[in-house]
Amino acid sequence: MDNQIFFIILIGFGVLAIILFGLDIYYLARKPKEEKGVLSLKFSEKFLPELEKIINQEMKRAISEINQKVTNEAMESYKKQMATFSQEAENKMAGWDEITKKEILKFSNTCSRAEDLILQEAKSKTNELSKGLDEKIDRICQLATESINQKIAKTEKNIEDYKKEKLKEIDQKIYQMIGEIAKKIIGRAIDLSTHEKLVIETLQKAKKEGIF
Amino acid sequence: MKKIFEDFAKKIKTKEELIFYLEEIAQIRQIIFKDKDIPLSKKVERKVDGEFRKFLEISEKEEVISKNPGQQSSFFQELEKYLQSLPEIKLEIAFSPDDNSLDRISQWFEKELGQKIILDLIINPRVVGGAIIDYRGNWRDFSLAKKIDQLISQKNQ
């Protein structure tokens, strides 16, 4: 924006300078004819180019000066504006800083309160759960203990029954063995005549029982 | 003739002996019709048991056995039938009886039952003593082994 203003001003000065120069030339050119009778100055051939040169130089200088001035003024204005802006920005920042701090503090307080509330609630719930859990655990332990005791009793009974059965089997086997040994010993001990007597007795028994 | 058969059967106590004599009879029946002029007792010399041959000799002398081969054949056929009809008793015993024991046992049957019985003996030491009897479908265990088992069973209870 500033550059545009500067450019416009510059163009304006340039146009003004050209107009003025042109007017000068016009009047200078016309004046000798009208005022021939009064005063007539003769211009040398070098005058116009030199005048032009001087005007150019002056224009350049003026343009340079205007340029410089405008630049300086623009710079100044920019600096002032920047300073103002900077200050305002600083003030705003400070303000935001303040606001941010306040908000942070507020948020922190809220968080802290929320934390306390949550902790309280959590403690309360934990206590409730804990109480309920204790009761449940007690109940479960009781049931488990009862169940285990029942199973132990059943297992002990099974073991007892098994022991009895096995002892009975062992007894039977022992008696069987005794029987086998007795048969062998008796068989060897009986002589021929005893065998014969036993057979005859057997036949007599069989006759009594009606086999023959 | 029955008396002759009964006398003959007195020699036979066991089933083995019965089978033996039945085989002897079968052999004799094969040679009856050979060498018809030679006496039977001569024909069977060295072919049958000595005792059997003596029996044949005596029977020929007493003319119990005819000289006619046909009649001889009938005689032995009848003898065979008679011997096969003798009742048998299976006795499972724990010892191997000698001839005297066999005689006594066999005589018991003749005395107590009035009849000749062939003894089918099975020797089984596991019987221990006494006998297991199988007679005409009646089976009974009168062994010592059984008594011992019963005793042991009672003690076990």
Best of B133, B136, B140, B143 to substitute, by most chain A Cβ atoms within 10 angstroms, is: B133
Give B11's pLDDT tier (boundaries 50, 70, 90).
Answer: confident
Exposed, middle or buried by CB within 10 Å (0-12, 13-18, 19+), for A127? exposed
Structure confidence at residue A55 (pLDDT): 83
Q: CB of B102 within 8 A of CB of B14?
A: yes
User: B128 — contact with chain A (CB < 8 Å)?
Assistant: yes
What CA–CA distance (Å, rounded) separates A192 from A212? 25
User: Which residue reads 């050209």 in tokens?
Assistant: A18
Helix axes B144-156, A47-189, angle to 10 degrees: 130
Give A150's pLDDT tier (boundaries 50, 70, 90).
Answer: very high
Structure confidence at residue A177 (pLDDT): 93
Q: How far is CA A156 from CA A143, A167, A169, in A?
A: 19, 16, 19
Q: What is the rounded (10 degree) CA torsion for B70, B75, B78, B80?
A: -100
Q: What is the DSSP letter of B126?
A: G
The answer on pLDDT for A2 being more than 80 is no
Structure confidence at residue A124 (pLDDT): 92
Determine whether the interchain pair B101/A205 forms a contact, defined as Cβ–Cβ distance below 8 Å.
no
Give A119's pLDDT tier (boundaries 50, 70, 90).
Answer: very high
Q: Tell me phi and psi for residue B92, to 5 degrees.
A: -100, 115
Question: Pick from A176, A178, A199: which is nearest to B105 by CB?
Answer: A199
Structure confidence at residue A193 (pLDDT): 93
Give B12's pLDDT tier (boundaries 50, 70, 90).
Answer: very high
Give A41's pLDDT tier (boundaries 50, 70, 90).
Answer: low
Q: State CA A173 to chain mean position distance.
A: 78
What does the pLDDT look like over A46-96, one tens digit per residue?
788 888 888 888 888 888 888 888 888 888 888 888 888 888 888 888 888
Give rounded-to-5 percent helix, strand, coil for chain A.
Answer: 90, 0, 10
Give B59's pLDDT tier (boundaries 50, 70, 90).
Answer: confident
Q: How far is CA A17 from CA A46, A59, A71, A73, in A?
A: 21, 7, 20, 22
The answer on pLDDT for A39 being more than 70 is no
Question: Pick from A175, A195, A203: which is nearest to B108 by CB?
Answer: A203
What does the pLDDT look like over B90-112, one tens digit per residue?
999 999 999 999 999 999 999 99
Chain B neighbors of A186, CB-CB under 8 A: 128-129, 144, 148
E-only strand ranges, B18-112: 88-93
User: Which amino acid makes up residue B104?
Assistant: R
What CA–CA distance (Å, rounded) separates B65 from B42? 14
SS3 A141: helix
Mean pLDDT calculated for residue range A147-163 = 95
The answer on pLDDT for A174 being more than 80 is yes
Q: CB of B118 within 8 A of CB of B12?
A: yes
What's the N-to-C CA distance of chain A in angstroms? 154
% pLDDT > 90, chain A? 37
Structure confidence at residue B94 (pLDDT): 95
What does the pLDDT look like over A175-201, one tens digit per residue?
999 999 999 999 999 999 999 999 999
Question: Pick from B112, B128, B152: which is nearest to A207 by CB?
Answer: B112
Structure confidence at residue A47 (pLDDT): 80
pTM of the model: 0.55
What CA–CA distance (Å, rounded) separates B87 from B106? 12
What CA–CA distance (Å, rounded) separates B103 from A69? 173
Mean pLDDT calculated for residue range A126-147 = 91
Give the gap in angstroms from C-alpha A141 to the nearest C-alpha of chain B: 46
The answer on pLDDT for B6 being more than 80 is yes
User: Which amino acid makes up residue B39?
Assistant: P
Mean pLDDT calculated for residue range A35-49 = 67
What CA–CA distance (Å, rounded) separates A72 from A85? 19
User: Which residue reads 């120069």 in tokens?
Assistant: A21
Q: CB of B119 within 8 A of CB of B14?
A: yes
Residues B102-129, buried b or exposed e (16+ Cβ, 10 A)?
Answer: beebbebbeeeeeebbbbbbeeeeebbb
The answer on pLDDT for A37 being more than 60 is no
Mean pLDDT calculated for residue range B61-80 = 87
